[in-house]
């Protein structure tokens, strides 16, 4: 079994993690979280989303958060933009606060596409096409998130052919890399591998990342299964924060701390300082007044405080 020797993690905690939070999280806390993640060695951070504040009120402070970050060179900051309006809002900021990468987000499930972004899959692609073009024309990279690649809260199991179809559509409009997302965490390793194989029909391994929610406790197993195929880019959320507002019952992404513990334990380099990452997880958990969802974070924090 040959595994990648290096893995790049994108922490999506400030966006995917916090978007579903019922309590208002102040922009200052979001900014501090980004600062702590980059101090821990994260080289990619999904900061916020430029979506409708009526749909996702928690992300309504997107401009303030983007403008408030003190950037570290070598770190890539991304934001979600579902349409031109979102991209225009991101580009209305001073240039220094522009994202390095935007994310258009589609789904392999028609029903989820409707619930999440209020249009069909083909309408979403039509909507994304000018966003992709406009972003690239000003030097901003484009990632495509593909939701429900193994299962959908409304349609149930999703066939790999539908994942391949979506990946092909994303590729066709110029998306540069894609996330294979298990939005509701129902996937198991072989199903996740099939979704990745389907994506490989249109993107090479260097341009595919795994995005696994942990609702059924399968996310680390799915991460290992993806690693075994050669995937070396993953999204995870510090402290295991999160859930999608349009996927009822879905819990957070796999915790970044748990993925880092897994990878380091297998001798895979991430460039991340696990101790500092645990501090970042503790910071946001304390701010939200609840315990961390990271098993490794909890164990290592307890060990630290008991010695
Ligand atoms: P819509 O209602 O069809 O849009 O929503 P519309 O174009 O008809 O506009 C309606 C109103 O929204 C108008 O305002 C627009 O100006 C405004 P009004 O005239 O009523 O005052 N509007 C916007 N405002 C700010 N920013 C914008 C924007 N666009 C329109 N960009 C829309 C369509 C896509 C906007 C809406 O459905 C939406 O915002 N959806 C966001 C859903 C979302 O954020 N979901 C969570 C992220 S996806 C996710 O978590 C999955 C992921 O993690 C991967 C995985 O795990 O699967 C990525
Ligand atoms: Mg997600």
The distance of Cα 242 from the centroid of its chain, to the nearest Å, equals 10
Return the best residue to mutate from 10, 12, 52, 210 for the ligand 1 pocket (most ligand atoms within 8 A of CB). Answer: 52
Encoding tokens for residue 66? 């983007």
239 to 16, 278, 280, 282: CA distances (angstroms): 12, 8, 8, 8
Encoding tokens for residue 36? 């702590």
CA 126 to ligand 2 centroid distance, Å: 22
Atom of ligand 1 nearest to the CA of 119: 3
119 annotated active-site? no
Chunk the chain into consecutive blocks of 10 residues (it has 307) and report each block's average pLDDT, rounded to whole numbers. 93 96 95 98 98 97 98 98 98 98 98 97 98 98 98 97 98 98 97 98 98 97 98 98 78 96 98 98 96 96 87
Q: Which ligand is closest to the CA of 187, given by its number?
A: 1
Half-sphere exposure (CA, 13 Å, Cβ side) for 136? 13
Catalytic hit among 119, 148, 152, 244 = 244
Cβ neighbour number for residue 154 with a 10 Å cutoff? 14
pLDDT at 305: 86
Residues 6+ apart with CB under 8 A from 253: 12, 13, 16, 17, 211, 212, 213, 214, 219, 235, 236, 237, 240, 241, 242
pLDDT at 26: 98
- Residue 4 near residue 268 (C-beta atoms within 8 A): yes
User: Selecting from 3.40.50.150, 3.40.50.800, 3.20.20.70, 3.40.470.10, what CATH number does the domain 8-306 have?
Assistant: 3.20.20.70
Encoding tokens for residue 8? 């790049």
Which residues have C-beta atoms less than 6 Å from ligand 1?
16, 19, 49-52, 54-56, 80, 82-83, 85-86, 89, 105, 116-118, 145, 147, 181, 183, 211, 213, 244-246
Of all protein residues, the one whose alpha carbon is nearest to atom 34 of ligand 1 is 117
CA 303 to ligand 2 centroid distance, Å: 30
Atom of ligand 1 nearest to the CA of 116: 42
255 to 69, 138, 278: CA distances (angstroms): 23, 33, 10
Contacts 24+ apart (CB under 8 A), 200-204: 201/164, 201/167, 201/168, 202/164, 202/167, 202/168, 202/170, 202/171, 203/167, 203/171, 203/177, 203/178
- pTM across the whole model: 0.97
Tell how strand 233-236 and strand 8-11 pair up.
parallel
CA 85 to ligand 2 centroid distance, Å: 22
Q: Which ligand is closest to the CA of 181, given by its number?
A: 1
pLDDT at 27: 98
- Torsion angle, alpha carbons of 121, 124, 129, 131, to 10: -150
């Amino acid at each position: 079994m040959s595994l990648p020797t290096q893995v790049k993690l994108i922490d999506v905690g400030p966006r995917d993690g916090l978007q579903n939070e019922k309590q208002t999280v102040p922009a200052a806390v979001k900014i501090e979280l980004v600062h702590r993640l980059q101090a821990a060695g994260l080289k990619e951070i999904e900061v916020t989303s430029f979506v409708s504040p009526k749909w996702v009120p928690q992300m309504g402070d997107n401009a303030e958060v983007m403008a408030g970050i003190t950037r570290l060179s070598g770190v890539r900051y991304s934001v979600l933009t579902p349409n031109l309006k979102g991209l225009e809002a991101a580009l209305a900021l001073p240039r220094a606060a522009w994202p390095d990468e935007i994310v258009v987000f589609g789904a392999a499930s028609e029903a989820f596409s409707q619930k999440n972004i209020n249009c069909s899959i083909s309408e979403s692609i039509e909507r994304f096409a000018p966003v992709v073009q406009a972003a690239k024309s000003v030097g901003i990279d484009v990632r495509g998130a593909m939701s429900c690649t193994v299962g959908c809260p409304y349609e149930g199991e999703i066939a790999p052919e539908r994942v391949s179809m979506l990946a092909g559509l994303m590729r066709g409009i110029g998306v540069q890399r894609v996330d294979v997302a298990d939005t509701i965490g129902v996937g198991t390793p072989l199903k996740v591998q099939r979704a990745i194989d389907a994506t490989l029909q249109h993107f090479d391994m260097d341009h595919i990342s795994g995005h696994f929610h942990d609702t059924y406790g399968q996310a680390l197993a799915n991460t290992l299964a993806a690693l075994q195929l050669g995937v070396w880019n993953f999204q995870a959320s510090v402290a295991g924060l999160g859930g999608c507002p349009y996927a009822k019952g879905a819990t957070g992404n796999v915790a970044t701390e748990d993925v880092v513990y897994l990878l380091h334990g297998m001798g895979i380099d991430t460039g991340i300082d696990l101790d500092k990452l645990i501090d970042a997880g503790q910071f946001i958990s304390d701010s939200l007044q609840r315990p961390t969802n990271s098993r490794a974070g909890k164990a290592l924090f307890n060990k630290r405080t008991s010695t």
